[in-house]
Structure formats: C-alpha cells, structure tokens
Amino acid sequence: MTAIHPRHQLVEALTHPVRFSLVAALNATDNMDFATLRDQLQVSDSVLSRQASALEDLGIVDIRKGYVGKRPRTWLSLSPRGREQWQHHLAALREIAGG
C-alpha cells in the first residue's frame, strides 16, 4: 500500500497566504490588535477583516471587540483549535519539505 502524501494533511484554510501569515503572527502572541496585525501583514483593513472573519467562522481565530477609552478596538487571538490546526499544518509542511 502506498503512503498518503503529506499534502493531504495540510489544513486547507491555512493554504491562503494571508490566512497563513495571520495565523503565524497570532501564534507568536496571546493576542494582537487589528491595526498592529494589519500593519505587520501589510494588508488593507478589508482584506484582514475578510480573512479574519473566515478564520473565525472556522473556529481558528477568536475576535474580541471593545474600547480603549472611547475608541473602539478589535483584538484577535488564536483559539485552542486554531493553535492545534497551526501545529498540524506546520507538521505537514515539514514532512513535505523532508524535515
């Protein structure tokens, strides 16, 4: 029997470059505010909003809205499921790369 290629273990939601970058950035911290994440990823508000919402719908990202003083703010973080999915995706990439 032939072994299944590790690409089949990739998390489909994380194959999009912006989603991949978004999850990578959030994996490095507990949470990040929207503007900081947007600037770090070098994307527009609408692109980040759309991709973050898609990941939230999949249970990968948690989005929390609140205020700092009178200014509205949005914070994003990886859910426990998101951290698990990220590790699974990285393991598949490493296996594909031969490491």
Q: Which domains does the chain have, with CATH numbers?
A: 6-97 (1.10.10.10)
Return the structure tokens found at 47.
């692109």
DSSP annotation of 60 reads S
Instruction: Tell me what pLDDT residue 85 has.
Output: 97
Which residues are bridge partners to 51 per DSSP? none
pLDDT in tens, the chain (99 residues): 678 999 999 999 999 999 999 999 999 999 999 999 999 999 999 999 999 999 999 999 999 999 999 999 999 999 999 999 999 999 999 999 996
Instruction: Tell me what pLDDT residue 41 has.
Output: 98
In contact, 86 and 14? CB cutoff 8 Å: yes
Instruction: Tell me what pLDDT residue 47 has.
Output: 98
Instruction: Tell me what pLDDT residue 81 has.
Output: 97
In contact, 92 and 12? CB cutoff 8 Å: no
User: In terms of Cα–Cα distance, which of 12, 14, 17 is closest to 78?
Assistant: 14
